[in-house]
Structure 1
Amino acid sequence: MILVLGGTSDSLAICDKLNKYPNLSYIVSVTTEYGKTITKKHTTDVLLGKLGQEDMINLIKTKSISIIIDATHPYAVEVSKNAISSAKLTGIKYIRYERKSLIEGISYENKFIVNSIDEACEIANNKGKNIFIGTGSKNLDVYVDKIKNKNLVARVLPTSEVLLICEKLGLNADNIIAMKGPFSVSMNKETYEHYNIDLVITKESGAQGGFLEKVSACEQLNIPIVIIAREKLNYPKVITDLDELESLI
C-alpha cells in the first residue's frame, strides 16, 4: 500500500499515474473538504484530516504502508517533516515530488525575495496602500495582524470554509477575491489594475501555481512583488518528473 500526501494538482497527477497499475493499491491523505472533493474525481480511497507524526505512524502500521509519496504543497513543511521522520522510524521508503524552483530565473528587478511572512509584512508596511495577498487563505491571519493601516486584497479559494475564515478576520467583499486559479498574466493584470495594487505578496509556488504569471503581470505594470522563498528541507529522495516515479514504486 502506498500513502500519497496530497491536496495539490501534483497529487492528482500522481493518482492518474498510479491508476495505470491496477494491482497497485494506494490511499490519498488530504486536509480540506475541497481537497477531498477534487481528489475523489481521481481515486476512491481518500482520507480527510491532518496527520501528525503519531497519526502517520499509526496509519503506516494499520494500512501496511510501504511507500510514502509526499506531494504536498511546497510550503507545507510540517507535513513533510512528519512524513520524513515517520518513514524513518518505521523503515519505509519516502519519496518527495517537488515542483521545480523558478525563483532563480526571475530577472524582474523590482522584486523582494524573503524567507518568512514576517519579512513580507515588514516590506508591505513600507510600500504603498493597496496590498495584494496572493498566498491563499493559510496564514491570512498573520497578514491581517502584522500589516497595519493598509488595504488588503486577498485572493482565495471560493469555498464556504475559506470565506468564513476571511469574514472572521474582518475582511469584507471589498477585500476578498474568491476564485480558483491558476490565473493568466492578463487576468492578474486586470486584477491588479482594478484594485489599484501597489504591492503583490506571493509564494514561490511553481509553474502549476501560476507563479510566473503573477511575476510577469507585476513586471508589465511595474508593481513591486515580494516572493516568500521555500524553506529548504533535507529530503531523503526528491523527484521532479512523474516519469521517475514509475521506477521507484
Structure 2
Amino acid sequence: MILVLAGTLDGRELAASLAQSGHQVLVSVISSYGRSLAELPGITVHTGELTLDGMKDLITNQQINTVVDASHPYAVNVSANAMAACEASPIKYIRYERSEVKVPEYERLYLAGDAKEAARVAASLGKVVFLTTGSRTLKIFKSEPLLTQCRLIARVLPQPDVVTECINLGFCPGDIVAIQGPFSHELNVALFKEFGAEVIVTKNSGMIGGADTKISAAMEMELPIVVIGRPSIEYKNLCQTQAEVLAML
C-alpha cells in the first residue's frame, strides 16, 4: 500500500495515476473538502491532520510500504513528519514537488524569506495589501505592527472554517475573497483592480498554484509584488514528474 500525502491538485492527480497503474493507494487529506476531491475509483482516503505519531500509526495499521509526499511546497511540518515516520518504520520516502515559477526580471518584485519578512516589506510598499498566500499565514500579517494602518485583503478557499478563521482574525467580510483557484491572468487583474490593490503578496507555488498569473497580473498593473520563497528542506528522493515517481517505485 502506498500512502500519498495529497494536499495539492497535482498530488491528487498523481494518486489517481498510481491507482490506475495497479498500485494500492491510500490518500491523506486534511479536510472534508479535500476528501471530496480525492475520492476516486481505487483510492482509499484518510481525512484529518497527521502528527508524527499519527503518521507512524497510519503506516503500521495500513501496512504502508512507501510514502509519497505530495504535500504543498510550503507545508514544512508535514514533510518533516513524513520523513521522520519513514525513517522510524523504516520504509521508502519519495518527495513529489512541482517546479517553482522562474521569477522574472521586474524592478517592483521583492523576494522574502518567510511570511514575517513579507509582511514587513509589504507594509513599506502600499496601504492596500492583497494577500494570496492562503489562510495559514494570515495571522502573521494581521499581527505585524507595521500593517495596522493598512487594508489587508485575504483571498482564501471558500470553506466555512477558513472564512470563520478570517473573521476571527479581524478581517471584515468585504475584505475576504473566498474563491477556489488557481486563477487566470485576467481574473487576477480584475480582482486586483476591484479591491484597489497597491501591493500583492504571494508564494512561489508553481504554475499549478497560479504563481505565474499572479506575477504577470501585478506586472501588467505595475504593482509591487512580494514573493515568499520556498522553505529550504533537504528532501530525499525528490521527483518533479509523475514519470519519475513511477520509475522510483
| Runs of 4+ residues over 6 Å off in structure 1 | none
Taking only the aligned residue pairs, the percentage that are identical comes to 34
Matches within 5 A, 1:25-104: 25-41=24-40, 44-103=43-102
Tell me the CA shift for residue 78 of structure 1: 0.6
> Which of 124, 127, 131 is matched with 1:126 structurally?
124
Q: Specify the SS of the correspondent of 2:148.
A: coil
Q: TM-score of the superposition, structure 2-length normalised?
A: 0.95
Matches within 5 A, 1:204-223: 204-223=204-223
> Which of 114, 117, 133 is matched with 2:115 structurally?
117
Structure 2 unaligned segments of length 5 or more: list them. Answer: none
Change (3 A) 1:7 1:43: farther
Aligned residues: 247
Tell me the CA shift for residue 129 of structure 1: 1.0
Q: Note if contact 2:3-2:68 (Cα within 8 Å) is conserved in structure 1.
A: yes
In terms of fraction of residues, the more helix-rich structure is 2
Give the root-mean-square deviation of aligned CA atoms: 1.3
Structure 1 unaligned segments of length 5 or more: list them. Answer: none
Matches within 5 A, 1:135-154: 135-146=133-144, 147-154=147-154
Return the alpha-carbon distance in structure 2 between the equivalents of residues 52 and 173 of structure 1.
32
Q: Note if contact 1:7-1:39 (Cα within 8 Å) is conserved in structure 2.
A: no
Return the alpha-carbon distance in structure 2 between the equivalents of residues 10 and 139 of structure 1.
22
Return the alpha-carbon distance in structure 2 between the equivalents of residues 20 and 157 of structure 1.
29
Return the alpha-carbon distance in structure 2 between the equivalents of residues 84 and 246 of structure 1.
19
Return the alpha-carbon distance in structure 2 between the equivalents of residues 58 and 194 of structure 1.
48
Return the alpha-carbon distance in structure 2 between the equivalents of residues 42 and 194 of structure 1.
41
Spell out, residue by residue over 1:163-191, the C-alpha distance to the aligned partner (whole angstroms, 9 max, x if none). 11111112122101111111111111111
Tell me the CA shift for residue 42 of structure 1: 5.8
Return the alpha-carbon distance in structure 2 between the equivalents of residues 233 and 88 of structure 1.
16
Return the alpha-carbon distance in structure 2 between the equivalents of residues 12 and 42 of structure 1.
12
Q: Specify the SS of the correspondent of 2:33.
A: helix
